[in-house]
Amino acid sequence: MAGTEDARRPPALPWTVRLQFAALSLAHRPDGSVRRLLFSLGDLHAAARPRPDASGVRSADVTVDASRGLWARVFSPSSAADAPVPVVVYFHGGGFVLFSAASRPYDAFCRRLCHGLGAVVVSVNYRLAPKHRFPAAYDDAVDVLRYLDTNGLPADLAVPVDLSRCFLAGDSAGGNITHHVAQRWSAMTTTASPSSLRLAGVVLIQPFFGGEERTEAEVTLDKVGPALSMVVTDAYWREFLPEGATRDHPAARVCGERVELAEAFPPAMVVVGGLDLLKGWQTRYVEALRGKGKPVRVVEYPDAIHGFHAFPEIADSGKLVEDIKLFVDEHRPTKS
């Protein structure tokens, strides 16, 4: 994995991308906390669309637990498939405190995943901090997997699905959720307690990990990209972790020998951006997985900022969908 270079100048970005990041920056106070009312005004939502869009993707919302507002948006191809298609359960980013499955950038990205992968995508609308701190997001994510395992997907999908080819994927905080949920599910489902939902792989897009000390990347790339700074990431951790916890809490610090991995923890794909201040922690995560003998594919985009995947105007965003498809196609569980 590439090392951290000297501090870089901000990357050249399309004006549409710069404008969206500028709006996100205005929604944060100087201490990194979120101006919620201001953010909500800019967080435009997309409705589910039962009719196929131009790429043949349709969507519907499924209630998992109405008492806590837990639901998921299911994206499916509208054309019949020759064989059952894989399922990708997706967790959106936003530092555990922002966005939803209905936020327009995530609705659009999941549509692109559905079309590009030829898979059904289930985007989870987990509860947000600080109202719902650790482990609420993890609990919600696991409960969605339980729901799918018990109830399956809506019967009116145009394509058959194979829940033994289930992949977890997420970006930033969603990448963090992907790891922790994969660990919990892998530890829960054994030959003694079989499940129809089997994890074939996990895709962590610029996962949000951290610790008390500063990595070289955090120091040299702080504020280089428009999406994140150390002030903002520190604020996110304060709002998500249990009150009084440090960033060395196991939810954040996922590296080193102390990381627990179930024997059935699936193959991983870890996406790293060269201009992402979190990449030092992502490197340590990859080293931890490899140290435990787990297969890991690292996909690097040298000029990518944090959050690049959400912008189709950025070429690497399209390349990412292609790379995820390669990973999904190559990792299929052996039928027992």
Catalytic site positions: 172, 276, 306
Q: What does the H/E/C string look like for 11-52?
A: CCCCHHHHHHHHHHHHCECCCCCECHHHHHHHCCECCCCCCC
Contacts of 183 (CB under 8 A, 6+ apart): 260, 261, 262, 265
Contacts of 140 (CB under 8 A, 6+ apart): 68, 70, 124, 126, 127
Q: What angle (nearest 5°) sits at the alpha carbon of residue 95, between those of residues 90 and 98? A: 80
Structure tokens at 305: 């900022």
Q: What letter represents residue 244's amino acid? A: G
CB burial readout 86-102, b (16+ within 10 A) else e: bbbbbbbbbbbbbbbbb
